[in-house]
């Protein structure tokens, strides 16, 4: 009962922020790029129901199988299953499916995702390089999407090269969500700047809530040249 009351209180708090304070959107966007549960945990607990175990086992197999469909420079999206992600997906102005994103990179037969993550599970706040299996794990996510831009292979591969360059620079997470600065980036901004830096000439929609301009995850995968290659829904 106490947990339910606290959750209700949190919902009301978010609503008040959105209605009364435009900058509150920044606070909500920060949470979009974080997980509130254990980031790498795969091991089922005794509290998991048999149905949950079946879903998890199926999801892990799907995650393994989908790896062969992913190439350098692909856009990888995911849908968090926590309350924060549920709330923050609604900040996407056109498609509210996904809450976080990164760029794929194939390195020595291993698949990684580079992504900007804030919050408690990224203490140094720097851009992350995570195994695809960790990025897509089904414990704190409802599913993932794999998208590819219809461009020359050389251009798509450059996306991954630029993602690594930002990673090697130690770019920090952008708590101010300022598109005009390049020394700090939030998740969609990071991907956006990797995509436009390579000289592809792509132009993306910029979302706006009142006087606040930002790149949403949907602004990336709804680009006319971006096509969905695969999508997993863990169920």
Assign 142 a pLDDT band (cuts: 50, 70, 90): very high
- pLDDT at site 91: 85
Nearest to 234 by CA among 72, 66, 40, 102: 66
Mean pLDDT estimate for the chain = 85
Q: Which tens digits make up the pLDDT trace of 33-49?
A: 554 444 455 565 666 67
Nearest to 129 by CA among 205, 212, 190: 190
Assign 10 a pLDDT band (cuts: 50, 70, 90): very low
- pLDDT at site 122: 87
Statement: the pTM of the whole predicted model exceeds 0.85:
no
CA 144/CA 101 separation, integer angstroms:
9
- pLDDT at site 33: 56
Number of domains in the chain: 1
Percent of the chain with pLDDT over 70: 79
CA 169/CA 128 separation, integer angstroms:
12
Full DSSP string of 137-176 = -SSSEEEEEEEEESS-HHHHHHHHHHHHHHHHTTPEE-TT
Q: Which tens digits make up the pLDDT trace of 29-86?
A: 555 555 444 445 556 566 667 888 889 999 999 999 999 999 999 999 999 998 778 7
Stronger pLDDT, 162 or 10, i.e. the higher one: 162
CATH code, domain with 64 = 3.90.1720.10
CA 218/CA 135 separation, integer angstroms:
18
The SS3 assignment for 115 reads strand
- pLDDT at site 134: 97
Domain that holds residue 181: 2-233
Name 202's bridge partners. Answer: none
78 phi, psi to nearest 5 deg? -145, 160
Full DSSP string of 70-98 = --TT-EEEEEE-SHHHHHHGGG-SS--S-
- pLDDT at site 19: 39
């Amino acid at each position: 009962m106490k947990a339910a009351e606290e959750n209700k209180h949190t919902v009301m708090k978010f609503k008040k922020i959105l209605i009364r304070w435009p900058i509150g959107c920044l606070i909500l966007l920060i949470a979009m790029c974080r997980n509130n549960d254990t980031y790498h945990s795969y091991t089922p607990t005794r509290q998991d129901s048999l149905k949950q175990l079946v879903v998890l086992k199926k999801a892990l197999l799907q995650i393994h199988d989908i790896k062969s469909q992913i190439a350098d420079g692909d856009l990888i999206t995911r849908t968090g299953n926590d309350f924060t992600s549920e709330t923050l997906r609604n900040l996407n102005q056109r498609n509210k499916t996904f809450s976080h994103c990164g760029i794929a990179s194939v390195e020595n037969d291993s698949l990684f995702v580079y992504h900007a993550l804030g919050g408690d599970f990224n203490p140094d706040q720097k851009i992350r390089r995570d195994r695809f299996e960790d990025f897509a794990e089904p414990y704190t996510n409802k599913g993932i999407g794999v998208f590819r831009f219809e461009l020359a292979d050389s251009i798509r591969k450059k996306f991954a090269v630029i993602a690594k360059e930002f990673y090697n620079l130690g770019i920090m997470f952008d708590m101010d969500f300022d598109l005009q600065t390049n020394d700090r980036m939030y998740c969609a901004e990071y991907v956006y700047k990797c995509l436009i830096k390579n000289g592809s000439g792509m132009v993306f929609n910029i979302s706006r809530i009142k006087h606040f301009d930002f790149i949403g995850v949907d602004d990336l995968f709804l680009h006319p040249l971006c096509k969905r290659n695969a999508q997993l829904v863990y169920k």
